[in-house]
Amino acid sequence: MLSRLTPQSPDAILAMMDMFRADTRPGKVDLGVGVYRDASGRTPVMRAVKAAERAIWEAQDTKTYTALTGDPAFGRAMATLILGPGHDAGRLAFAGCVGGTGAVHQALALVRMANPGATVWMPDPTWPNHPTIVAHLGLKARSYRYFDAATRGLDRAGLLADLAAVPAGDVVLLHGCCHNPTGANPTAADWRDIAAALETSGAAVLIDLAYQGFGDGLEADAAATRMLAERLPQVLIAASCSKSFGLYRDRAGVLLALGAGGAQARVLQDNLTHLNRQTYSFPPDHGARIVTTILDDAALRADWEDELAAMRGQMLSMREALARALRDGSGSDRFGFLAEHRGMFSRLGASPAQVARLREEAGVYMIGDSRMNVAGLSPENVPVVARAILDIGL
Ligand code: LMR
């Protein structure tokens, strides 16, 4: 039976991590996998995380099971972080998940339970793991227009036209903020038009929210999700704690499901509980408990928000530094989009062959679609990266 298996194609992002590790050149630059790095290239454990871990270690007197959907306090804390303190808890069901990927998986598994014939509409382009999870679950996939390759901004007209035409019964996957891989995001007015298009279509929505706090701030980055959750009747939110809490390997994530409320909220909760039980029984607790400890403690939360703001500021200043270096080097404003984009990523617009040249000639690593992680930039490597980008003829 096992002999019937065929090799899987390598994951584009994780394969890049391996290539970078194998490169022995001292000046190599990692703009690949979406992991935050500070100015010295480290991915530190956040101060509030350390303090929360210490507090948990001291106070925790059992490791017995929590609930099948994880500690309810984690679900409540994340719902408040994402949807705001005034959210309608009566519409809400939630499940602790294995990181953001786990939350996306459980959301799509729930979609399949509700409508096995559903098509999942994803932005073109999207995070490469989205279409592969959709395919793995046997759901149908379609793309909607999102990115304008000429301006490196949003294809607003294409996006709105495509979303309005999605049939009811299907699901539209949106990135709540900090679009991965492009870095191009709708404005507040665009989001209102997106909500109107989705009201017309009647499709359900799945929001992938992996970078809250990495764009313009915790509140600003949640604004679109909150507005969609208020206006639309069926909203799933797959949220990750990997980036904004720096908990990558602890795999903390949550799925929030908003329906009509009342009896439907109980049915939703039942289904999420069933789904977790069939997939892994109990979700991991340690990372989730760290997050809850931070969010429920005023001092820890303030310190976390300060450190998160510093991380955001570092990424923004690196965006500006690279845009400036490219303007100086090229004598044009054609790279201004780098400073306009938000989050960890920008799609540079280089061809796969140019991306290979960056890697081979300059030791600058980015994903093949020319997605670069701006957190990999530093004051030292910005001139090198800018020179390399101009040298490949962009
Ligand atoms: C990324 O997009 O690089 C990150 O979200 C890491 C991953 O799991 O792909």
Could you tell me if 231 and 321 lie in one domain? no
pLDDT over 70 percentage in the chain = 100
Ligand 1 atom closest to the CA of 373, numbered from 1: 3
Output the ligand 1 site: residues, CB below 6 A.
13, 33-34, 127, 129, 180
What's the rounded Cα separation, in Å, for the pair 228 and 226? 6
What is the rounded average pLDDT of the residues 14-38?
94
Alpha helices in the chain (DSSP H): 12-22, 47-59, 72-83, 99-114, 129-136, 156-164, 188-201, 218-231, 263-279, 286-295, 298-330, 337-340, 352-362, 382-391
pLDDT tens-place string over residues 172-230: 999 999 999 999 999 999 999 999 999 999 999 999 999 999 999 999 999 999 999 99
How far apart are the C-alpha atoms of 13 and 76, rounded to whole Å? Answer: 32
Question: In a mutational test of the pocket of ligand 1, which residue from 129, 250, 371 has the highest number of ligand atoms less than 8 Å from its CB?
Answer: 129
Distance CA 143, CA 132 (A): 13
What would the pLDDT profile of 142-155 be if each residue is shown by its tens digit? 999 999 999 999 99
Q: Evaluate the omega torsion of the peptide bond into residue 283 and state whether it is cis, within 30 degrees of 0.
A: no
Mean per-residue pLDDT over the chain, rounded: 97
Tell me if 372 is assigned to some domain: yes
pLDDT digits (tens, 9 = 90+) for 158-168: 999 999 999 99
Q: Any catalytic annotation for residue 195?
A: no
Q: Which two tokens stand for residue 57?
A: 């270690």
Q: Quick check: is 52 in a domain?
A: no
| Co-location of 130 and 247 in the same domain | yes
Protein residue with least CA distance to atom 5, ligand 1 = 34
Residue 54 lies in a domain: no
Assess contact for 82 and 103: CB atoms under 8 A. Answer: no
Query: How far apart are the CA of 110 and the centre of ligand 1, in A?
Result: 22
Residue of 16, 33, 248 to mutate, ligand 1, most atoms within 8 A of C-beta: 33
Domain stop point among 296, 329, 347: 296
pLDDT of the residue at 10: 87
**CA 249 / ligand 1 centre spacing (Å):** 12
pLDDT at 385: 98
Paired tokens of 216: 């313009």
Q: Are residues 135 and 248 in the same domain?
A: yes
Structure confidence at residue 11 as a pLDDT band (50, 70, 90): confident
Whole-structure pTM value: 0.97
The total number of residues written for the chain in this structure: 394
Asked whether residue 5 is assigned to any structural domain, the reply reads: no
Say whether 127 is catalytic.
Answer: yes
235 and 143 housed in the same domain: yes
For 316-344, the pLDDT digits (tens) are 999 999 999 999 999 999 999 999 999 99
Overall number of domains in the chain:
2
Inform me whether the pLDDT recorded for 372 exceeds 90: yes
**Domain of residue 143, CATH code:** 3.40.640.10
Residues 227 and 109 in one domain: yes
pLDDT at 392 over 90: yes
- CA of residue 70 to ligand 1 center, whole Å: 24
Are 148 and 263 part of one and the same domain? yes
- Asked whether residue 308 is assigned to any structural domain, the reply reads no
Domain boundary among 244, 269, 296: 296
Q: pLDDT band for position 40 (50/70/90)?
A: confident
At residue 286, the pLDDT reads 98
Distances (CA, A) of 222 to 44, 188, 272, 314, 333: 24, 11, 23, 20, 30
Domain boundaries, position 246: 65-296
pLDDT at 352: 96
Tell me, what's the pLDDT at 363?
97
Other CB atoms closer than 10 Å to residue 313's CB: what's the count? 10
Specify whether 23 is located in the same domain as 86: no
Question: Does the residue 303 lie in any domain?
Answer: no
244 and 170 housed in the same domain: yes
Model confidence at 301, pLDDT cuts 50, 70, 90, reads very high
- Protein residue closest via CA to atom 1 of ligand 1: 34
Beta-carbon contacts of 246 under 8 Å, excluding residues fewer than 6 positions away, are 36, 43, 44, 45, 46, 49
Is 352 a domain residue? Answer: yes
Q: Atom 4 of ligand 1 has which residue's CA nearest to it? A: 34
pLDDT bucket at 39, cuts 50 / 70 / 90? confident
User: Last residue of a domain, which of 249, 266, 296?
Assistant: 296
210 is catalytic: yes
- Clarify whether residues 174 and 321 are in a common domain: no
- 114 class by beta-carbon count within 10 Å (0-12 exposed, 13-18 middle, 19+ buried): middle
In 96-155, which ranges are continuous DSSP H helix?
99-114, 129-136
The answer to whether residues 341 and 369 belong to one domain is yes
Q: Are residues 166 and 109 in the same domain?
A: yes
Q: Give the separation between CA 58 and CA 36, rounded to whole angstroms.
A: 29
- Cα(101) to ligand 1 centroid in Å equals 9
Q: What is the mean pLDDT of residues 222-246?
A: 98
Q: How far is the CA of 39 from the centre of ligand 1 (A)?
A: 20
Pocket test for ligand 1, best of 127, 240, 345 (most atoms within 8 A of CB): 127
Q: Residue 319 belongs to a domain with what CATH number?
A: 3.90.1150.10
Average pLDDT of span 254-267? 96
Residue 107, domain member (yes or no): yes
Annotated catalytic residue within 103, 118, 197, 210? 210
Q: Is the pLDDT of residue 79 over 90?
A: yes
Q: Is 285 a catalytic residue?
A: no
- pLDDT tens digit sequence for 103-158: 999 999 999 999 999 999 999 999 999 999 999 999 999 999 999 999 999 999 99
Residue 127 in tokens: 């995070």
Same domain for 263 and 129:
yes
**pLDDT of res. 382:** 97
Cβ distance 384 to 49 under 8 Å? no
CA of 3 to the centre of ligand 1 (A): 31
Ligand 1 atom 6, closest CA: 34
Cβ neighbors of 393 (< 8 A, separation 6 or more) are 354
